[in-house]
Structure 1
Amino acid sequence: MEMVSISIYSLFIIALALALDAFGVALSLGLNPALKGKNKIMLCASFGFFQFALSFLGAYLGYLFNTYILVIPKLIGGIVIIIVGIMMLKEGMEKSNNKVILDKKMYLILGISVSIDAAVVGFTALNNLKNIQILLLTTVFIGIVTTIICALAFIMSSYLRKINIFSKYADYVAGIILILFGLKMIFL
Structure 2
Amino acid sequence: MSFYSLFLIALGLSLDAFGTAICIGLNNGVKRNNKLLFALSFGFFQFFFSLVGAYTGFLFNTYIASVPEVIGGTIIAIVGIMMVKEGYENNNECPLIKPSMYFVLGISVSIDAMVVGFTALHNIANILVLLENTIFIGIVTLIMSIAAFLVSRYLKRINMIGKYADYLGGIILIIFGIKMIFF
Alpha-carbon separation, structure 2, partners of 1:41 and 1:55: 21
Give the structure 2 partner of residue 123 of structure 1. 118
Q: Judge conservation of contact 2:46–2:141 (CA < 8 Å) in 1.
A: yes
Tell me: CA distance 1:31–1:55, structure 2 relative to 1, closer, same or farther (3 Å): same
2:24 corresponds to which of 13, 17, 29: 29
CA contact (8 A) 1:28 1:177 kept: no
> What TM-score does the superposition give when structure 2 sets the normalisation length?
0.69
Equivalent residue for 1:111, pick from 106, 122, 130 = 106
1:45 matched residue in structure 2: 40
Instruction: Provide closer, same or farther for how the CA distance between residues 8 and 86 of structure 1 changes in structure 2, counting only shifts above 3 A.
Output: closer
Q: Return the alpha-carbon distance in structure 1 between the equivalents of residues 33 and 154 of structure 2.
A: 18
Displacement after TM superposition at 1:86 (Å): 6.9
Structure 2 CA distance, aligned partners of 1:145 and 1:118? 13
Task: Give, as a single letter, the amino acid of the residue that structure 2 aligns with 1:46.
Answer: S
Which of 132, 137, 156 aligns to 1:137? It is 132
2:152 is aligned, of 144, 153, 157, to 157
Query: What letter matches 1:137 in structure 2?
Result: E
What is the CA-CA distance between 1:154 and the residue it aligns to?
A: 0.6
Please report the RMSD computed on the Cα atoms of aligned residues, expressed in angstroms.
3.2
Give the AA of the match of 2:40: A
Q: Which of 5, 8, 23 in structure 2 is aligned with 1:13?
A: 8
Q: Which runs of 4+ in 1 moved over 3 A?
A: 63-67, 85-89
The answer as to whether partners of 1:15 and 1:145 remain within 8 angstroms in 2 is: yes
Aligned partners of 1:102, 1:20: CA distance in 2, in Å? 20
* Cα distance change, pair 105–87 in 1 and its aligned pair in 2 (3 A): farther
Shift of 1:44: 0.3
What fraction of aligned residue pairs are identical, expressed as a percent? 47
Where do 5+ consecutive residues of structure 2 fail to align? Answer: 62-66, 175-183
- Structure 1, gaps ≥5 residues long: 1-5, 90-99
CA distance in 1, matches of 2:14, 2:44: 12
TM-score, normalised via structure 1 length: 0.67
Q: Distance in 2 between matches of 1:62 and 1:101?
A: 35
Aligned length: 150
C-alpha distance in 2 between matches for 1:87 and 1:24: 9
CA distance in 1: counterparts of 2:54 and 2:17, whole angstroms = 20
Give yes or no for contact 1:26–1:153 (8 Å, CA) kept in 2.
Answer: yes
Name the structure with the higher helix share. Answer: 1
> Larger C-alpha radius of gyration, 1 or 2?
1
Q: CA deviation at 1:8?
A: 1.4
